[in-house]
Each structure stands twice: as structure tokens, then as C-alpha cells.
Amino acid sequence: MNLNNRIKLSGMMFLEFFIWGSWFVTLGTFLGNNLNASGSQTAAVFSTQSWGAIIAPFIIGLIADRFFNAEKILGILHLVGAVLMYQMYNAQDITVFYPYVLSYMILFMPTLALVNSVSFNQMKDPEKEFSTIRVWGTIGWIVAGLMISYFFHWDSEDATKAGLLKNTFLMGGIASLLLGVFSFALPKTPPKVATGEKVKLTEILGLDALKLLKDKNFAIFFISSILICIPLAFYYQNAHPFLSNVGLDNPTGKMTIGQISEVLFLLLLPVFFTRFGFKKTILVGMLAWAVRYALFAYGNAGDLSYMLIIGIALHGVCYDFFFVSGQIYTNSKAGDQYKSSAQGLITLATYGIGMLIGFEVAGLITDTYKNVDGSIDWKMVWIIPAGIAAVVFLLFTLFFNDKDDKVKGQIV
């Protein structure tokens, strides 16, 4: 890959995840403070990510892969997204805000696959080259969080009360506009499917890979993947409101520790995976979720603030050791015949079904433990997902047997 394309693809990844990180991290706090959203209403807004993940394969498989260059679709989606983001910035009521965020996420989630397609199309050796491009996405997410906390100070206690978190949508909209225009200058990525060639809906949704569920171990992994997404949803939906509510300074900036941790543990994963195997690796990831939420439940912004920071820093273990190692395992079990379908199936199960259930449960629990004065019993809000993660950990320990599954670690 030449230097010019490398710079373009790195810039594309940076903006893609800068956009997402610029508003999604603080969304829960914004909804509660600016729009007075209840737990169930907040859950409905966060669930738009899941609906976007469910609908995304149709946009990619039925439109982008058949009729248009990926970079052009990417540009159009981000230009429309910029308009929707501006409408979210102006919304004064949750009922006005919801249709815009739903429309936005239906358009944004497919762009996650499109930026990968544009990148892979320029690579001769994706396994070696992709990580150096993808890391700029994580850097973009980190920069967005640091800007919110340490440059604009939109998440300070006074600024939050003044409603300044709505400016995150304006920042995201400007970045979306930039990426929309920039996308048309990206390397050409023509449709993958020839005109007239039949595309199976079952393949697009990953349903061809349902045959893999006949394997007991894969079935247990599949069910565990859905269940572990329930506690995952609690983090996305409640972490920022919790950290803000307990008085942790610069919560958005401090949450970027999770992304830094993600990069570090991603580098350690192949070593851990090769040495200890899939089962032990994924169990560490599951256990990390339970430990993280226990730290949140019993920590505070004062003398026990280190517990909150450690909980944030565990994000790398939570995400990489479960989700990335899960992708490796899925790739190994699927083989060449069902490789793409299997990854699609796991994505549908986790970010689609699992997270959809998780956001609903998180909203219900938050409403259940909301006090008369409007405060929230955060200890119970975190103990419950910690318990769920612990149960999934025990079930996986008892029923998954990897003695016959020899998975060689290679990140895909």
C-alpha cells in the first residue's frame, strides 16, 4: 500500500470513530439531564444501535455490494448523517430526538463495515496491515473524549447542568460532514458482487452458519455471547451517567482509559490466546465484566476513586478477551465455507439480539432502583450485571469443553 492511501485510510478511520466517540459516550448523561429521559426511554435510544446492527447487513449486502462503490455509499451516509446529527443537536424533547437517532444509527452502523471494505480492498496482506490502520479509529475515539473533557469541558458538573452536552452532536455532525466529503477522495472500492449474480438473504444475515450450532461447544459459545451482551449494555448505557452522578471529574476523558487499555490488551491477546487457549482466555474476559461492575458498585469518586479507574481500565480485557477471541474461535470453527456467514451470525447475535435485550434490561433496572428524589441506587444497578456476568462465567466453565477444539490464535 502506498503512503498516500495509507494516510487517507488512517484519516478515514480516525474520523469514523471520532464521530461515534464524540456523542455516544456521553449520550446517557445527555438524555437524563437535557431531555429528562426515563430509564426505559434511555434504553430505547441506546437500542437504536442494535436495530442499526440488525438492518446494516441489508444495506451492505443488498445495496453496497451490488450497485455502488463502497467509498461513495460511505460518503452519502455520512453526509445524511451530518444533517440528522444537527437535528439531534436541536431536539428539545425525547419524542423529537428518538426518530432522528434511530435514523442516524440505521445509517451509521453500515459505515463500520464500509470503512473495513475500503481498507481491505487496498491491502495485499490485511492480517499485517489492517491493525496499523484500524488503530487510528481508536485514537479518534480517544481524541473525541479528551476534547469533551479537557478542551471544551462540556461534561463538567456546571456545564452538564447548563445542557452543554448537546454540543457533542454538533461536533459529531461537523466531523460527519468532513468524512462525507472526504470519502469521495478515498481509493475506489467497486461492488463485490457482479450485476445479475444472486445474493442469498440467508448468507447476508449469516443464517447459513446456523449449521454450526449442531456443534455443542459452538452452541454454548453462541448462547454465552448473547447473554454476556446483557451486562455489556449496562456499561454503554449507564457508565457515563454513573461517573458523572458520583462526581468523578472529567468522566468522558477518563473513560478513554478504556480505549487505551483496549489497544494494549489487543497486543497481548495473541500471546495469551496461544499460551492458555480459547476457553481460559474467554473466561478471563467474562470474569473481568463481573469484577468491573463490582468495582463500580463499591467504588466512589473520593478515597475509592481508584476502583472506578480500574473498572474503566478493565475494558480492554472485557472486550478483547471475549469479543476478539470469540471472532478468532468463530473463524476457526467455520472454515472457509461459512467464514463470512459465521462472523455475520455472531455480530447479529451480539450487537443485534444480545445488546437489544441488554439495553432493555438495563433501562428496567435503572428505573426500578430510581429513588423518589430522582437519585439512583447505583450499587444495585451494577451488582445485577455483575451477577449476570458471573452466572455466564459459571455456565461456560461447566458446559464448554475445549479439549477437542484446538484453536490457533490469530486475530482476524
Q: What proportion of the chain, given as a percentage, has pLDDT over 90? A: 65
112-154 pLDDT, tens per residue? Answer: 888 888 898 888 877 678 878 888 999 999 999 999 999 999 9
The whole-number pLDDT of residue 19 equals: 98
State the chain's mean pLDDT as an integer.
89
Residue 180 contacts residue 75 (beta carbons within 8 Å) = yes
Contact (CB, 8 A) for 361 and 40: no
- The Cα–Cα gap between 12 and 29 comes to 28
Dump pLDDT digits (tens) for 5-15: 999 999 999 99
Let me know how long the chain is: 412
User: Does 330 or 410 have the greater pLDDT score?
Assistant: 330
> What is the model's pTM?
0.88
| Confidence grade of residue 210 (pLDDT, cut at 50, 70, 90) | confident
pLDDT average, residue stretch 37-55: 93
* Model confidence at 332: pLDDT above 90: no
Q: What is the DSSP string of 297-348?
A: HH--SSTTHHHHHHHHHTHHHHHIIIIIHHHHHHHHHHHHHHHHHHHHHHHI
Q: Tell whether the model's pLDDT for residue 411 goes beyond 80.
A: no
* pLDDT tens-digit series, residues 263-312: 898 888 888 878 888 899 999 999 999 999 999 999 999 999 999 999 99
Distances 18 to 105, 136, 143, 148 between C-alpha atoms, Å:
15, 9, 7, 11
